Chain A
């Protein structure tokens, strides 16, 4: 597929838009449909499209596998540590109300961080699974 100009140009045009849409879904999840899960899948779809058109090696240069493993773990750690912080601030585990000056601000910050953690883990795990499957086909 590397020599097909139509695919290359359409992919180059689409990938930034897909990533932009993923970021919109990630950070606009409070107001519209979406959230970390969907955004993570859409973000990984952009990189999978890149891998399909430009080759697996090129995609692995953008996000090396060890970064992906770090990202997947970091998402879970970020989520869990938000809960630990709220524990230390004197509330229940994952009660975000104490994170900000008011309850609403705390909830906003908590939900933002938690969704970010979800998005990081989902993006990384989807790409890990895709690279693991697609990488088996290499000679």
Chain B
């Protein structure tokens, strides 16, 4: 019962934050609202007993990505475009309404939260719950699955993060370009020399 009340309050706040994100035109305020949205989602995950996910959401969603968006905003010098009210919102509104109704219709088939007969809980989950502690000696099943049973997947995730870092280094890693070191003119110069 208390969970239900907390969920309703948190979901109301989520909806309010989402509407506020849509309505604000100030980019700084939008980024801060994104952070609040992430923190509210993290709290929802805590209520659903998904502590590891909540941890990640709070650290990455509310923490690092807010900082990265703020640094990006500092680079782009806070361009606030005045929104034009000339366009007609009816077609987008219809698309959003129909998609939303389809999604709500889809939730009718979703098994109840924590339902032991749900397909997700009857496949390998039972095996992990029974065997994770005797086989790996790790009380936290999430860590046992993440690092041991699904070690291959996690290796892939680490490779993805590494690739993201390499990509950012390739795009932004060099010294900020001064006017006379424009890559295009440099290329042209090289062509001229050859």
CA distance A42 to B51 in the complex (A): 16
Q: Which B residues are CB-close (under 8 A) to A104?
A: 136-137
Q: Which A residues are CB-close (under 8 A) to B168?
A: 128-129, 132-133
CB distance from B179 to the nearest CB of A (A): 12
Q: Is there a chain B Cβ closer than 8 Å to A37's Cβ? A: yes
Nearest chain-B residue to A134 (Cβ)? B71
Task: Count B interface residues, CB 8 Å.
Answer: 44
Partner of A136 from B54, B63, B75, B148 at Cβ < 8 Å: B75
Is the pair B151, A94 in contact by a Cβ cutoff of 8 Å?
Answer: yes
Is the pair B162, A76 in contact by a Cβ cutoff of 8 Å?
Answer: yes
By size class, the interface of chain A is: 35 or more
Is the pair A33, B136 in contact by a Cβ cutoff of 8 Å?
Answer: no
Is the pair A111, B165 in contact by a Cβ cutoff of 8 Å?
Answer: no
Q: Is there a chain B Cβ closer than 8 Å to A108's Cβ? A: yes
Q: Which A residues are CB-close (under 8 A) to B154?
A: 79, 114, 118
Partner of A30 from B51, B64, B71, B138 at Cβ < 8 Å: B138
A80-B155, A129-B165 known; 4 other A-B pairs, CB under 8 Å? Answer: A44-B64, A93-B152, A118-B158, A137-B71
